[in-house]
């Protein structure tokens, strides 16, 4: 019977930091089999950072598991830094880390914003990729950002009301700019208050059934600050040109094995984006999980992702 649950917890066999420019230093780690098939885990957000649980999607006997906290996120420094923080810079960081670790080719595994970044990297460096496992597809289009800022209230009115009420009524016509003004405030208390509300809003909408643990983790200071500042910064300043660039450039990776896992009731990244990606990449294995939302930790999503990493053992 195919494996569908997490592998046991493991510690990294190597950790390090990599100075990628005069501002940013990124944290990275390797776990599993040092001589195994390399796989790069790309976290969401942008700005969410990675956690020890993310190593557990992969068979540690087979995979050389590489994890990096992206610029401004998690254990990378400075936390929440938006200067020189763009999609293109993140793609360069991934490639720099690949060379630093002496890896020829690797799998990419990313969910939510991690799916965006995986596509951007793979379409830039297809020759370095073995395959892609993607979850909760986000393509950084204006319609997706507007959905997050305004339209999620259709299904999560209480969570949206808490999100919007942090902003004075006269500023709610542009929630993104109103939040950015506070997230970029010189007053750390103003920044932290806005970051916590933003992050808890996202966490509250990320699972099909209420998850107190997920909501509590969303409100943790470091996570909230990195997520909210970097996410708002990207929503404001890092759209693709043209907007559908990731879909247009799928032709560069259609020869690679791909898996797309999507919760039917994903409210943060609705299924319409996964559908668009599958139509552009019909060769990819497309799995809609009928009883799941956005979070990779929901049972159906988790099982589909682990089954994908098991199937990918045949690709080296």
125 catalytic per annotation: no
Sheet holding 63-68, edge to edge: 14-19, 25-32, 63-68, 37-42, 106-111, 129-135, 258-263, 285-289
Q: Which residue has the tokens 């929901």?
A: 298
Query: Is 294 one of the catalytic residues?
Result: yes
Closest CA to 199 of 48, 44, 42: 48
Going 231 to 237 to 243 to 249, the CA torsion angle's sign is negative
Nearest to residue 80, comparing CAs of 115, 46, 127, 107? 46
Among candidate residues 266, 273, 278, 295, the one labeled active-site is: 266
Name 291's Cβ contacts closer than 8 Å, sequence gap at least 6. 208, 264, 265, 300
DSSP per-residue string spanning 208-256: SS--HHHHHHHTSHHHHHHHHHHHHHHHHH---SSTTHHHHGGGGTTTS
Let me know: does 78 contact 29? Beta carbons within 8 Å.
no
Q: Phi/psi at 18 (nearest 5 deg)?
A: -135, 115
266 classed as catalytic: yes
Residue in 24, 69, 93, 112 annotated catalytic: 112
Give CA separation, 314 vs 63, 111, 236, in Å: 12, 22, 40
Q: Could you list the active site residues?
A: 112, 266, 294
């Amino acid at each position: 019977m195919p494996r569908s649950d997490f592998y046991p917890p493991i510690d990294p066999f190597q950790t390090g930091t990599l100075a990628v420019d005069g501002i940013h230093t990124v944290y990275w780690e390797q776990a599993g089999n040092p001589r195994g098939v390399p796989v790069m885990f790309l976290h969401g957000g942008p700005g969410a950072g990675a956690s020890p649980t993310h190593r557990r999607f992969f068979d540690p006997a087979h995979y050389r598991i590489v994890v990096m906290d992206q610029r401004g996120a998690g254990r990378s420094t400075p936390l929440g830094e938006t200067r020189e923080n763009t999609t293109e810079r993140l793609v360069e960081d991934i490639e720099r880390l690949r060379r630093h670790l002496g890896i020829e080719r690797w799998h990419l595994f990313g969910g939510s914003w991690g799916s965006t970044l995986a596509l951007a990297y793979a379409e830039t460096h297809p020759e370095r990729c073995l395959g892609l496992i993607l979850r909760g597809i986000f393509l950084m289009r204006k319609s997706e950002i507007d959905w997050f800022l305004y339209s999620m209230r259709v299904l999560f009115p209480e969570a949206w009301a808490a999100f919007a009420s942090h902003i004075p009524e006269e500023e709610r016509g542009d929630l993104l700019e109103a939040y950015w003004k506070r997230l970029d405030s010189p007053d750390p208390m103003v920044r932290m208050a806005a970051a916590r509300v933003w992050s808890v809003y996202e966490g509250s909408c990320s699972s099909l059934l209420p998850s107190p643990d997920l909501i509590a983790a969303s409100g943790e200071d470091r996570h909230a600050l990195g997520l909210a500042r970097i996410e708002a910064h990207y929503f404001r300043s890092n759209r693709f040109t043209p907007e559908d660039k990731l879909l247009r450039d799928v032709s560069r990776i259609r020869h690679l094995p791909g898996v797309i896992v999507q919760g039917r009731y994903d409210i943060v990244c609705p299924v319409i984006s996964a559908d668009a990606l599958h139509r552009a990449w019909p060769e990819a294995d497309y799995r809609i999980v009928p009883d799941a939302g956005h979070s990779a930790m929901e049972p159906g999503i988790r099982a589909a992702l682990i089954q994908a990493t098991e199937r990918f053992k045949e690709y080296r």
